[in-house]
Chains A and B, each alone.
Chain A
Amino acid sequence: MSRYIPITQRDREEMLKALGLSSGEELFSSIPQDLRGKSEIKIEPLRSEAALKEYFLSLSRQNSFQDKKVFLGAGAYYHYIPYAVDYLASRSEFLTPYTPYQPEVSQGTLAATFEFQTYMAALTGLEVANASMYEGASATAEAALMALRIRRGDIAVARSLHPQYRQVLRTYLEKQGVELVEIPFREDGRVDLNSLKELDNLSAFIVGYPNFFGVIEDLEAIQGVLKEKGALLVTSTWEALSLALLKPPGAFAASIAAGEAQSFGLPLAYGGPYVGFFATLKKYVWKMPGRLVGMTRDSQGRRGFVLTLSAREQHIRRGRATSNICSNEAWCAVRGAIYLSLLGKKGLRKLALLNHRRAVFASELLSEAGFKLAFSAPFFNEFVVDLGGDAEEFRRRLLERGFVAGYPLGRDYPELKNHLLLTFTEMNSRQDIEALVREMEALK
């Protein structure tokens, strides 16, 4: 038996005997024999732990990014993770239970999730937030579906929303037969309000905050247009750290703020697991997707937490549920709660400022070196440079010099094929930024 099976050969024999069976094969006699043809799985075992570890080490040695200086964001961000986050989150008690269906023995996960909900509601400036969504793009798509439950009509989306998020929105909405209208961006990088004004029969408008170009949208002006139409403002944020500094969506009367909270204590890990967040107003709580943790009392009047308002969910409402989501990213949300508790009121703001200042520092160096910033509207920690020549080629040449210089926008915006989205966090030192600009200048 493998080391994970605490049954001996003798147990096995005795247990089979107790069942009146003479072989393991007979356990499966309820499966019609003709379906049990060539069932053998041809995979060689690696029974030795050392050999298994070596196998994965050898795979990891096929990676070659470790010595590069990386200035990438675009939906996933390099931030430092305090050691205490890994230390606490790796405890079996957080890592190895399932959904807290038995609240009496799940108060740890439930309380930490309640804290996460509190943090995300506060960061977005809204009243309630759920326990988590898969990640930012599907959370944003679920926000669109919820908006449709509040108000029927078309969904408009900013062309400057993260391109992958737009693709996911399209996938989710086209299955519902809903029209998705794309709103262009202006020269300064912000939403073109005139195009938005032209629309009628609008359910909601979904805008990135900040948008894919790093630009901080003018939500007040957008809301001005939407109010007149009775349409909802839905924001999507994939650099959640920006919310520590920027006036939150709730302050602009957004109805839903969804997005990605990977920045709060989750490693990049090549794209996941991350953690989607989802916040809205109290009056819409019954229309929300996902798990919600609520505070309550036990039989002796002590504080406790439970999964609540579950009559919205698939295990109760089945085909009429607000979403099909079941497993979400609970453990990632616990990491988020630990991270935000450590950073705290002062630390999180300082960190956001540090990110912003590093990006501004980079933008000024680049301007001095004769590079043109594509958009004039303010940014948080990423911005777009117009290289005046093919960005893919430029990036390739920088890679030869040891720099992964941002994300070439031509992949998603044919009109921006000379443009590079550059990202700066606390992990990019001023020296590294200076070196990047020097190399870019040399290649110009």
Chain B
Amino acid sequence: MRLIFEYSKAGKEGFFVEEEEGKEIIPENLLRPEIEVLPEVSEREVVSHYLRLSALNYSVDWGFYPLGSCTMKYNPKINEEVASFFTEAHPLLPEELVQGYLRVFKELEEALKEITGLDAFTLAPAAGAHGEFTGIITVRNYLEARGERREVVLIPDSAHGTNPATAALSGFRAVEIPSDEKGMIDLEKFKAALNEKVAALMITNPNTLGIFEENIKEISRLLHEVGAFLYMDGANMNALLGQVKVADLGVDVIHLNLHKTFSTPHGGGGPGSGPVGVVEKLAPYLPGPRLVESNGLLLWEEAEGRIRSFYGNFLVMVKALAYIKELGGEGLKEVSEIAVLNSRYLRKRLEKKFKVAYPTETLHEFVLSDETFRDKISTLDLAKRLLDYGFHPPTVYFPLIVHGALMIEPTETESRETLDRFAEAMEKILDEAEKDPEVVKTAPHSTPVGRLDEVGAARKPILTWTQYKEKQD
């Protein structure tokens, strides 16, 4: 595969820039020479290069992408079109000129309040982990305002890695709570860890095993008893839309992922958007700026604790709002119902030959362990072989509490036929593992490149073309 630098030839141009005479005032000693690694290529070659690169990617639009806890649902096309109505405004324009933009913020805030039952939202966070940081420092701000110093954030052992990393970034110590035999937070161990040093528990619900934490209300009550808060990681909100309001679960803070639950494209790893919602008593401690309405005019009000420049990943918000508006309350409820139906159906189908990690009932996703195949092939082998069958593999080796985990989230935007074909492919691979394990162990065979040397990549990292060229010479 060639990189753009390899098309470069002196004298080619990819974009016309006006030549304009004029004075310059930057002294010579502050100027740089031309940047050698920047290529000289024509537009024709740029288009061809990136078109070819794009063809090397698997995507949701192409096919099934059951990446657990990532909610890789179909991204509606009209949402791209309506977002294109909102690309031109500078973020520092006077508010009276951009009321349409501000109305989008307002409408989305109101919609998310209605969906969660919570009292206030900030839309500023750029992604889920950024939302976690925002939510946890909101709790911290509240506690500090009351002169309370608490050191600990409790986190179940099935949680995403971002949770403990967020606790550390927010100046807390993460204390892990083990799961019980049902795959839920071990209530007794949670009680043992709970004391007045605890600021919050970060819960994912349904958790990363796809299991609803049935004791959540009790957990919330116990936290509140010692003056701590219940933070919910909303990564798996797709299971709950219209089925429960998280406020009724005793949740004090939540971050949502607009790029998961609300269908905005994942972009190969962003941009996301991670709005944070809170109960009334935390609302004054949300980082600024805040949107306020005065005589029908929407305005920004500065508040302490900014977490990024400007107001958030606006275009992502437009697309999420379009999704919510199109489906409405009933449509969102249908989303969670079919997401769970598809997941349960696929689970049932796969249970014939595979071992589900915990027997407990699951919602929108489920996790297989490698128990039925680990003596022949690894989870990684199976994942790579799925690529040959035209499927993106599930999330692998996560959650950490399941041996050789395969975490499968089909979402509501897949047909029954697709689920059946995926299950057949999984079973076929199991069959191959029996009869011809080599073909699985050396997979994939039909992808643009074969299995890549990740160890070598980390041992002697080549992170830029410049570095690569230096090593060549």
Contact = CB atoms under 8 A, between A and B. Distances in A.
A341 interface: yes
A6 B413 contact: yes
Most A CB atoms within 10 A — which of B98, B287, B450? B450
Given A52-B322, A111-B53, 8 more contacts: A43-B325, A75-B91, A88-B50, A109-B53, A138-B126, A272-B315, A304-B1, A354-B20
Contacts of B322: 52, 56
B313 A104 contact: no
Interface in B119-155: 126-130, 132-133, 137, 140
Contacts of B345: 15, 18-19
Given A18-B345, A106-B57, A308 B308 contact: no
Contacts of B96: 64
Contact of A57 (B30, B85, B306, B329): B85
A341 B363 CA distance: 45
A319 B207 CA distance: 19
Interface stretch (A194-202, A326-334, A435-443): A326-334
A347 B315 contact: no
Contacts, number: 668
Interface string B420-447: 0000000000000000000000101001
A95 interface: yes
Interface residues of B, number: 199
Interface in A114-147: 114-115, 117-119, 121-123, 125, 127-129, 131-132, 134-138, 145
B76 interface: yes
Nearest to B216: A35
Contacts of B46: 84, 88, 338, 341-342
A379 B13 CA distance: 28
Contact of B35 (A46, A92, A132, A348): A348
B259 A164 contact: no
B161 A315 contact: yes
B271 interface: yes
A378 B25 contact: yes
A296 B453 contact: yes
Interface in A258-308: 260, 267-274, 282, 285, 291-300, 302-306, 308
A65 B266 contact: no
Contacts of A271: 91, 309-312, 314
A361 interface: yes
B372 interface: no
Interface string A339-357: 0111111111111011011
Contact of A327 (B21, B211, B259, B467): B259
Contacts of B91: 75-76, 268, 270-271
Interface stretch (B99-107, B190-198, B276-284): B99-107
Contacts of B41: 341-342, 344
B170 to A, nearest CB: 5
Contacts of A132: 270
B453 A297 contact: yes
Contact of A306 (B249, B309, B452): B452
Given A41-B333, A107-B57, A331-B268, A357 B23 contact: yes
